[in-house]
Amino acid sequence: MVAEGDSSTEVVVSNEHGLHARPAAKVVGVAQRFDAKVTLTNLTTGKGPVDAGSLSMVATLNAQQGHRLRISASGPEADVAVATLSALADRGFDDLPSEAGTADATPVRAGRSGSGLDVAVGPAIVADQDVDLSGYQAGDVDVERQRAKDGMRVAEEQLTALRDETAKTVGAAEASIFDAQLALLGDVMVQDAVFRAITQGEDKSAPDAWKAALDAVAADFEGLDDPYQRERAQDVRSVRDRVLRALVGTAAGGDLAAGGGPGGGDHAAAGVLVVRELDAATAAGVDAERIVGIAVRAAGTTGHGVIVARSRGIPVITGIGDVVVPAGAVVGFDARAHEFVVGPADGGERLRAVVRGRAGEREAALAEAERPAVTLDGTTIAVFANVGSVQDAADARGADGSGLVRTEVLFGERRVAPTVEEQVEVFRAIAAALHGKSITIRTWDIGGDKPLAFLPQEREANPFLGERGIRVFRRRPELLRDQLTAICRVAAETPVQVMFPMVTTAEEVAWARAELAALKPPEGLKVGIMIEVPAAALRITTLAAGLDFVSIGSNDLTQYTTATDRGNSAVAGLADGLDPAVLQLIDRVVRGVPDGVEVAVCGDLASDPDAAVLLAGLGVHELSAVGPQVPVIKARLRQTDLAEAATHAAASLAMPSATAVRAQL
């Protein structure tokens, strides 16, 4: 924290996206023009004062639209510095209104669906390593300064091209990632730090100086309270590596791993992307036409990046560990068999045959996709799709509707909460893409690993055990009310179910229902809750009284039952939805719900064809899976004898481990 000066004024942040990277860069530019020490304080959050001459510090104020800022300055030009910054604030920081972050009501993404076969083979596009600087030959100070400038210019050209291409082929929200990265490249403070280090010989080479400066900025972001802002450290590292690659003259997989997605230019060839961890932005941004699969070093299959990639039909394998993968080497994997190979002796032929075999099965399943999933003994199992975008809904061939619309994913990039009207439009588009079949809209499920940009949360010691899902809205119900209003409006036009996440107590259910009732919902709007907390499963009979349905979120139910953070690869081996302890809770829900309350499963367990059969055997007659799996699951269920499945399912409850359950599937 720095001291405030003696000339000061207060302003309100008026621009839509707050003081994000671009307007923050403007503030920094102005602050540096004057012979004054300028500071900013976010009076709304109490954060600051921070040095207004540092982009990273200004960005870390997390100043959102409507926040009050104090601008203070000391020194000979303090008054004029404050007046100029105040005028800039009055002009909304010269931040042009943009559409960035608007959830689009129409499917626009080109090449969005991958093979969905859980198997992939191709040259490795490695985006998991630090840029190798070991071969770099440093010149004298002038040479290094010039190289640093050239590196930044090359990166700027690439980022500009990426932004324009992404805006065209993917959407404005994804393209805005590159605006923030461009602003960082143009940050005078960062440039000064780099040139100073080169000139003063601290980090004499351009790559060392650049890396040190950007690592410092990334560390600033990582220290922030707000998870959304913390995640921006990834943008910083992405810019860092882009310039480093330009400096050492390597092409790399970074475009695809940094949310750059289509049009990266560096990677015209198809291949398997290899990353350390898979974040949702990368998963949403990669070009499914070129990236035939993603291999993730970290373990864990229920993180949001993995979910997004799978819902796009991109094969993903996780937990490949530290295996050495040379860029360009043929790699392949079969996620179902948990097999990952580097440089196979047969050049990948065997895996290509698996691809062909599964493609054949999928073709057959697709041909039958629209037929209902009726088991051999005549029971119909509804198979829905989980969707996080209108495109997901459009891609969900054969789905009987949507059993989970993840609203926080739909509007995840928004810096400002969507209006009721905007939500209505997107929900309507999803229903239309599913031909008017029933859609289950889950109310905002935020917290834990799901930050929402427009609803910053305080740092929590244990976010997964903190204010998540429905809990968030007890203190601030307005956003929930807006969403429920939109849901009610759409429910008057088309079949809709509303579903509340992360419920623990009957009192929470009563509160949520009272909020809904106050809006006078239309007849026919079905109401349900997610069962994700073991306590909810254990007291299902009282919790579900009066509801239309419950839907088991097996991802979180597994996390909480086995006490394994779903994003922590170190313990991912313990987090298996087929753990008999989890299955016992599911069984309890099926047996314990009051008559007439439907039981569904919408966690990722329902996307695994073998597990889907087991769930049907336990008596779950509604499943919601990632879109590309829907036809395959339907095909499997059509070959299932439910009585036999029930016998197997009952036996699995008494088994000692998930491994034992898997072995008998």
Catalytic positions are 304, 602
Residues 518-547 that bind ligand PEP (CB under 6 A): 532
Kindly state the smallest distance separating residue 417's Cβ from ligand PEP, in Å.
Answer: 19
Residue 271 or 469 with smaller CB distance to ligand PEP: 469
Sequence-separated (6 or more) residues with CB below 8 Å from residue 437: 399, 400, 401, 402, 431, 495
Candidate residues 365, 593, 599, 602; the one interacting with ligand PEP per rule CB under 6 A: 602
Q: Which residue has the tokens 């003994």?
A: 377
Structure tokens that stand for 274 in this block: 């290899």
Extended beta strands in 238-347, E state? 271-275, 291-296, 316-317, 330-334, 339-342
Q: State which residue, 408 or 598, has the beta carbon closest to Mg ion.
A: 408
The DSSP letter of residue 102 is: P
Q: Does 260 bind ligand PEP (CB under 6 A)?
A: no
Interface of this chain with ligand PEP, residues 353 to 412, rule: CB under 6 A: 404, 406
Q: How many residues bind Mg ion (CB under 5 A)?
A: 3
Of residues 189 and 602, the one with the C-beta less far from ligand PEP:
602
Which partner, Mg ion, ligand PEP, none, binds residue 4 by CB below 5 to 8 Å per kind?
none
- 556 touches Mg ion (CB under 5 A): yes
Helix (H) or strand (E) holding 624: strand 622-626
Residue 459 burial class via C-beta count within 10 angstroms: exposed 0-12, middle 13-18, buried 19 and up = exposed
Stretch that binds ligand PEP, among 144-152, 318-326, 536-544, 553-561 (CB under 6 A): 553-561
Which pair of structure tokens corresponds to residue 485? 């209003």
428 binds ligand PEP (CB under 6 A): no
Count Cβ atoms below 10 Å from residue 474 Cβ, excluding itself: 12
Instruction: Decide if 352 contacts 121 (C-beta within 8 A).
Output: yes
Count of residues interacting with ligand PEP (CB under 6 A): 10
Determine, following the binding rule CB under 6 A, whether residue 445 of this chain makes contact with ligand PEP. yes
- Establish how many alpha carbons lie within 13 A of residue 256's alpha carbon, considering only the half-sphere containing its beta carbon: 31
531: tokens are 């069962």
Residue 294 tokens, joined: 């993603």
Which region, judged by CB under 6 A, interacts with ligand PEP, from 93-101, 181-189, 377-385, 549-557?
549-557
- Residue 51 φ then ψ, to 5°: -65, 120
**Strand pairing partners for 294?**
273, 316
Any alpha helices (H) in 328-371, and if so which ranges? 349-367
CB of 418 to ligand PEP, least distance (A): 18
277 binds Mg ion (CB under 5 A): no
CB of 64 to ligand PEP, least distance (A): 25
**Helices (runs of H) and strands (runs of E) counted in the chain:** 27, 19
Question: By C-beta, is 218 or 586 nearer to ligand PEP?
Answer: 586
Q: How far is the CB of 586 from ligand PEP (least distance, A)?
A: 12
Q: Which is nearer to ligand PEP, 47 or 468 (CB)?
A: 468
> Which part of the chain contacts Mg ion (CB under 5 A), choosing from 308-316, 378-386, 529-537, 655-663?
529-537
Q: How far is CA 516 from CA 187, 342, 485, 496, 507, in A?
A: 47, 54, 8, 14, 14
555 binds ligand PEP (CB under 6 A): yes
- Map tokens 């229903």 to a residue: 431
Give the H/E segment covering residue 218.
Answer: helix 206-222
Residue 650 host element (H or E): helix 642-653
Least separation in angstroms between residue 405's CB and Mg ion is: 13
Check residue 255 for interaction with Mg ion (CB under 5 A): no
Contact criterion met (CB below 8 Å) for 607 and 628: no
Structure tokens at 92: 């909304």
If the CB atoms of residues 224 and 575 are measured against ligand PEP, the closer one turns out to be 575
- CA separation for the pair 500, 443 (Å, rounded): 6
CB nearer to ligand PEP: give 134 or 462: 462
CB of 286 to ligand PEP, least distance (A): 20
Report how far Cα 529 is from the mean position of its chain's Cα atoms. 22
401 binds, among ligand PEP, Mg ion, none (CB under 5 to 8 A by kind): none
In the complex, the smallest distance separating the C-beta of residue 579 from ligand PEP, rounded to whole angstroms, is: 14
d(Cα 166, Cα 66) in Å, to the nearest integer? 30
Alpha-carbon distance 370 to 400, whole Å? 8
Smallest gap from residue 552 Cβ to ligand PEP (A): 7
Confirm or reject binding of residue 603 to ligand PEP (CB under 6 A).
Answer: yes
Of the candidate spans 126-134, 141-149, 317-325, 528-536, the one that interacts with Mg ion by CB under 5 A turns out to be 528-536
State which residue, 167 or 602, has the beta carbon closest to ligand PEP.
602
Of positions 229, 554, 607, 640, contacts ligand PEP by CB under 6 A? 554
- The torsion angles phi and psi of 337, rounded to 5 degrees, stand at -95, 5
**Residues in Cβ contact with 259 at an 8 Å cutoff, skipping those fewer than 6 apart:** 174, 177, 238, 279, 281, 282, 284, 285
Choice between 272 and 630, CB closer to ligand PEP:
630
Choose among Mg ion, ligand PEP, none what residue 497 binds, the Cβ cut-off being 5 to 8 Å by kind: none
Q: Tell me if 580 contacts ligand PEP by CB under 6 A.
A: no
Residue from 553, 592, 627, 628 that binds Mg ion (CB under 5 A)? 553
Residues at the site binding ligand PEP, with contacts judged by CB under 6 A:
404, 406, 445, 532, 553-556, 602-603
Residues at the site binding Mg ion, with contacts judged by CB under 5 A:
532, 553, 556
